[in-house]
Structure 1
Amino acid sequence: MNWLNFFDNTTTTHTRHPFGRSINATISNEEEELFNKSQEAFSNKNILDAYEYFFHSLENFKDDDSNHNVTTRREEDELYFEIFQGTARVTGCVTQNNLHAEAIITKKSSANVALKRFILERNYQLTYANYYSDDQYVKIKLYHDNITMTPQKVFFPLREIALNADFDKEYIRTEFTDIPLEDIDHLEKLDEIELQTKYKYLHEWIDELNKTIENLPSNDNAGMQAFSLLNTMLMIDYLIVPKYAIYQKTSKKIQEYYGDENKSIESKNDELKEYINKLKKMSYEEFSENFYNAKYTFNPTEKTSKEEVDNFISESLLKIRWYKNNRYIQIIPTIYKYIAFNILYNYGLNPVIKDLLHTLVEIQNPKFFKSLEYQELYNEDEKTFSKKTIISKIEDIISPHQNRFKSLEPFGEDLNYSSLNEFSNSFYLQIQDLNFEEI
């Protein structure tokens, strides 16, 4: 299953907190073997064996301990399973002939007309799954026969039901505030100190943003404002990782900014400023309601080719060169941060690039990570790097993949440590030079 998981949901970075929207865990060392066994069992019509191997291949780990994001229970002619994806708990049963899966959304008695209309519209947007209600609950369900089943054929339907059940439950919690969600007992509260730290930095970042915008040149500064505003939005999403209303509204604002070509950049900037300042006014009590820890099985972002990532880096570095040549140097550090956050938000990355960019984010935002008790990789006051640690981290990220990619080489020694700007520039150039050819 390397064709899928290598580019979708593996990571080698060891963090104690989730960052961003992809899965912060590692897959099984036996994942490829389990996938191949599943493929073979499907070919031999050993359906229950095939599914059991397949579900084990989806299991992920933290420090070699299973997250139990996928569990199974086998009886004589049936295999029962449970898959966790954020707010969603997908349960189901496999027999020799078919697969049935479902996730509970809310109680049938709680569904008002507006929610029913929303659910009907969602049914037209789904490929494999669909909504229905039984005597007690509104659910999203999936039915598949096993006549010509393969691991690939079962992966995408299960991914669809899990991702959409999670997204829709978050959406309902935000847009239908009087409708309680069901089957969310598996969600865990965040540590109070972590919540307070995130609330503190939300305010610090917004204060820094407003100060930056005030000090920009008065003429023709819309582009610089855009980089500052978008960087703050993406930073909030990646580092603070809000859920529910903050996530839904932040995600919508970012998508509208990138997608709406009819509005002027000035108008879009004003909308972001208004939204960001609303976030600053949010009380701690309201803020803290938008967080939880959960298990995840599927990555929501489709995989992206390295060429697309390289092209974005090249285009962004050209913009930095333009600002530098025109002596707008105050925006350059912001753009260097923006590049990493943008890629981590918009692109489905392989684990090497994802972990390297996360390391760069740690270096560029040292005070936030230090407040969460991570090792300091860059001292902002002294403007010095923890060079040996950075070199070691880059080697730890790249070396596990060198057996497969013979031309992949660690590059920590080749980075420019003269300043944070030069470091960031050299880091992006090294990412572009990474060679993922399989020899």
Structure 2
Amino acid sequence: MTTRALGLPAAKFILLIASGGLMLGTLSACSDQSSAQERGGPGGGAGGRPTQVGFITATTTSVPLVSELGGRAVAYETSEVRPQISGLIQRRLFTEGSYVRQGQPLYQVDPSLYRAAVNQASANVASARAAAEAARAKANRYRPLAQIEAVSQQEYTDAAAQARQATASVAQGNAALETARINLRFTTVKAPISGRIGRSLFTQGALVSSNQTDPLAVIQRTDPIYVDIQQSAADLTTLRRSLASGGVTPGSTQVRLKLDDGSDYGYTGTVQFSEVVVNESTGTVTLRASFPNPQGTLLPGSFVKAFFTQAVTPNAILLPQSAVQRDIGGDAFVFVVGPQNRAERRKVVAERTYGTDWVITGGIKPGDKVITQGLGTLKDKAPIKPVPASAAQKIAPPPPGQAGAAGAGGGARSGGGGR
């Protein structure tokens, strides 16, 4: 086909062919440049620009080992009010649920029989004293008579023995009188300790005795109050081994509480002692702590949660939980900034948490730069651009020239499409 057949001059036909080739070359170059940008820069893939990551510098600190254990409140003192004599209850002298003081009268038992016993014992003492005086007088008279042999020595010996027997009878009578007075005093049942008294289990007119099974009432002292904390014997053994090996140091004996409604108890307690035996049914050891309880907030039997520092881990490193990852085997690892700004995977020892951080006791050392941001697709030995995790990341707009070129290219393509 000739240019004349198309109706075009030869010069214009050649110019059109050249322009089309130039446009195709420009589009091919733009496509190659766009593909390179999508691959992360010139070369793309592994040879692309480094990933920007945020890091923190590892530092050592002392981390307390805080134990959270369940416990129950126990009265500081508990006393069962029991009668020590037998008789009918005449009156109840206290208000149920009130606070009573040591020595305060609680019940009045019929004292009639015991008052009569006191009178009888008192009369017996008076009789024994009279007999003793007569016996002593007789022995005193026989003494000089026996010396001059006016009476036999045996008669004087018998008179002296009778005087001593009469004196012993007076002592026996006094003991019986004291017992009768004590029993009479026991007809008024008094509070053995100070504390809060519960309900009365016996009413007026009830017959009570010293050997009965049930107490009259129960008094409990709740200020201060004990909290019995249950800890696993295995955990306690592990803690003692750690203390013996020097891995941890002893903590504080101070204890904080959370009540059963989740609120904090306003007072701090102190661990008093640990039981020396393990409960066979639960496998736990009881730790007892003492707390002030002036408002009576803690009641005996209440369930609480106790928080206290049993030990302190020295020279530990705290890392955010987002920085610590685990492999399929469950081993913990982190990425650190390695030589030549490449990511380096490190296996670490992370056995427990403290707040929102992992407690690291091995695998990294102070001064290591641990990566905490940009871990999504990070791999070992990958090139990175490390910046402090607290630094603000600036996003710059594209240069004005590139934006104008993109607009011009779009206009050219639009114009081409028009043609």
TM-score (norm 2): 0.18
Answer 1 or 2: which has greater helix percent. Answer: 1
Answer 1 or 2: which has greater strand percent. Answer: 2
When Rg is computed on C-alpha atoms for both structures, the one with the higher figure is 2
Considering Cα pairs closer than 8 Å and 6+ residues apart, tell me whether 1 or 2 has the greater RCO.
2
